[in-house]
A and B are shown apart, each in its own frame.
Chain A
Amino acid sequence: MRKANHYPGESKWLGLLYLLPAFLIYTLFTLIPIIETFRSSFFEWSDLGRTSQWVGLQNYFNLIQDSSFIKAFTNNLIFIIFYSIIPILLGLFLASLLGRYPIPGFSFFRTVLFLPQVISMVVVGVIWRWMFNPTNGPINLFLAAIGLGHLQQAWLGSFQWALPAVGSIASWVQYGFCMVLFLAGMQRIPEEYYEASGLDGASAFHQFFLITIPGLKAEIAVALITTIVAALRVFDLVYSTTKGGPGESTLVTGYLIYRSAILNNQIGYGAAIATVLTLVILSVSFLIRRILSDRNEVV
């Protein structure tokens, strides 16, 4: 029970003053650019800002009819499988292997499995371009070595395989993050639950679905939000591997923004795509929070 009707310590106003520097930087580098992007999306703005012209919602009308945008957004949705669903399943699996019983070298495995997450995306792109190289990349060489030469592909250049290939890189990067998140969450689940259910005859399988997963609900929500957002805003990975090719088979919204606004000088149009993408990301994260957070548990 608090006695005073305000928090103890210094006055609230001084507290706000402490926020000022960070808030100013946030305003300068985040809020203003967002507002400016939103505003630009109503202009036909070619180079240098000298010839911008108010066009109202025209950029947005063009957007709906742009087959490249539809293609790019569809690819973003497919990327959710690779960025989010596969890493979360893999992370749950690995976490339940590593987390429940003490195994020798636990921290070693944890570190190594987490490693892809800390490498810069451009470096990841360079590494995997080499891995997928059709003539001297390890993947095709390995396939040939085990007698599966007929499965060799020009991975990143194939219309059929480029998207799954780039997607699998994303899974490789993301699963370590999910795993570490779930490992941390599992520390919180009381050991007694497992003991008691074990005595009642529950198998490890049952325990996983009835104790581990419900216990990790908050972590799963966090993992879903961050990975889905990553899937929707992906740019660097595509830029450093395929640049959207072959054709438009790995084109994503983030790359389309770059292509329109920076390469082709259609700044207003690029801003419109960016605005739509921002709104989609905001509503998706809001939805996941609503669905997965309990009334008494804040994600």
Chain B
Amino acid sequence: MRSRRLIEEAIRTRLNSTLDSPLRDQLLARALREQEQSQETQPALDGPVIRRMIMKNSIVKLGIAAAIIAVVGIGITEFLGTGSTSGTLWAQVAKNVETSSSVIFRTRGTGSRDPNDDWPNGYTVYWRTATVSRMDKYRGGQIHRTIYTNLDTKTLIGLFHDHKMYNEEALSDERVQQARTGWGWIAPQELINLGRSLEHHALGQKTIDGVLCEGIEAKGPDSSTARLWSAWRPATPSSRKSRAPAVVRAQWTSSAGTWT
């Protein structure tokens, strides 16, 4: 009777099956087709998973928009520091947001469709202009991925901080177009327009993270509510002379979860 070690070795090394060439090639071709077809109905490059959800109804659209606007404020507060602020009217905030040329925001939520890879503990910080994006993904409070996307140079670079490696790849024209489309929905202008399109009323003022904000509450046809707390200030001293991101914070509650 042979030893267990020999039997283990025999199973490891001698039991092997190989897919024959014709079937091997056919199956790969079919798998690639399946992958391509599935992408035709998938969100665009780097777009949060929640993007598909915002198409369902207007209040969900505002809810998601609120979440994104909220993180504009969080991002600035965390990364650019707090400065002197004053209460402003919503209309003024909206106007300033509309003229912003870039956004900084953080996404994190308690809903089941959290766009982060590491729900519920992870979050993502975005810096985004019309053509350039940087995305930092955090896990357990530590950064573990950074993704740079440049639509002008059509390149995407991924840094794997946890593995100390990186990857660079060229973006096809199709993916660039997808990215442009995907980025559009979180443009501040679109978010403001979305909020205005719904029935809403003023909530007054509230201090959030040391920033005095004006609030509105919007109501959707499905009785979900979205609260938007907003303030305006230049993000940095240098940006006083240029278009700067808005500082807005919001809370949205619906059956899908809560975003703050």
Q: Are A and B a genuine interacting pair, yes or no?
A: no
